[in-house]
Amino acid sequence: MELNRRTVIAGAAAGMAATTLGGTAHATGGRKPVKTLFGKLADGTKVYSWSLENGGTRLKVLSWGGVVQSLEIPDRRGRYANVSAGFDNLADYVAKTPYFGALIGRYGNRIGKGKFTLDGKNYQLSVNDGEQSLHGGTQGFDKRVWDVEPFTKGSDVGLHLYYTSVDGEMGYPGTLRTKVTYTLTRHGEWRIDYAATTDKATVVNLTSHVYFNLAGEGSGTIEDHELQIAASRYTPTDSGLIPTGELAKVAGTPFDFRKAKPIGRDIRVSHPQLVTAKGFDHNWVLDKGITARPEHVATLRDPASGRTMKIATNEPGLQFYSGNFLDGTLTGPSGRTYRQGDALCLETQHFPDSPNKPKFPSTVLRPGQTYRTTTIHTFGC
């Protein structure tokens, strides 16, 4: 594992079988993680790409922001395509990215006016989305170089990613030691395990911000994708996309995805919430709530290619973002530009602005506790 000026969770990998580059993949089609230089930051820091393959799924991950730079899965005819939007160079990830493929922290989604109170003390966070703090602030976890440790364990291959956020970084209290594990299973599932500890009471909400298009990166709109979300309620927002605190019923609204339907069916309905967000950019309150183990909560399907993705999580919420702010100014590896609705995000999470909404599930983490969540992506065709 490469260590530089960041520290890692002491003993976090205890008991876990990990190998250095060159470990043996098992007879399930898995390949050992392969490391290559992706680029250098302005200060000379090297950023690496890690390539993994197992069970028919191919994944490329950057040490910059823990970014999923590509995710390749086959269609019904066995033809592979990268289903994740992104860039083919480091400069664009540093200067232009709308969180393409990134690990998000300390707090995924928005905190109203970048303020919250914890144990009687007021905190002011970095503000980077109008008046709001979005995805951890101006220099969130997506803009940090993570330490990466490849591993093989049984029939699985993967990466452990480590980052330590110091007390006061982006305004958050406590030194947060974070470990995120990306695993490709022998069945081709992509599993994300998040873990974090703190030395001072803080708030945490980690997530992944992959932009999916199951027809393939650069192929055009996702409005014909069919989406199902196991949620009877969602959290409406104000003009700043901050939840009002209401848990509104989806029944009779464009937000009803309890049965699979094309994303484009209702996206242009004149509903106040769709007008404000320029499409879907809301948190769905999952019917299952917080669970001990990941449970199935959503299915995405592209009818043309036959590719499907099922998502299981133990989190209580799912943010569905329909790529509303893609405006044609960004170009992906295919050489094609990304326009509104050309990719979507399904971010498993706790609810936005939870530190300011006492009735929402708590995102407080205290010393002696370990933050743990898991999300599993299962692909098919």
Residues designated as active site: 209, 347
Which secondary structure element, helix H or strand E, spans residue 58, and what is its range? Answer: strand 57-62
- Please state, in angstroms and rounded to a whole number, the distance separating the CA atoms of residues 375 and 373: 7
Cis-peptide into 293, omega within 30 deg: no
> DSSP secondary-structure letter at 277?
H
Beta strand 337-338 pairing with 330-331 = antiparallel
336 within 8 A of 323, measured Cβ to Cβ: no
In terms of phi and psi (left: phi > 0; alpha: psi -120 to 50; beta: otherwise), the region of 275 is alpha
Distant-in-sequence, close-in-space partners of 255: CB < 8 Å, separation ≥ 6: 234, 248, 273, 280, 282, 284
Q: Which of 274, 241, 284, 273 is nearest to 132 (CA)?
A: 241
Distant-in-sequence, close-in-space partners of 85: CB < 8 Å, separation ≥ 6: 100, 101, 211, 212, 213, 217, 218, 332, 338, 342, 343
Structure-token pair, residue 358: 């006492």
**Alpha-carbon distances of 122 from 172, 173, 355, rounded to whole Å:** 11, 10, 11
Helix (H, G, I), strand (E, B) or coil at 116: strand
Structure-token pair, residue 174: 């406590």
Q: Which of 172, 150, 233 is nearest to 355 (CA)?
A: 172
Neighbours of 269 (CB within 10 A): 11
307 within 8 A of 75, measured Cβ to Cβ: yes
Burial classification of residue 79, based on how many CB atoms lie within 10 Å of its CB (0-12 exposed, 13-18 middle, 19 or more buried): exposed
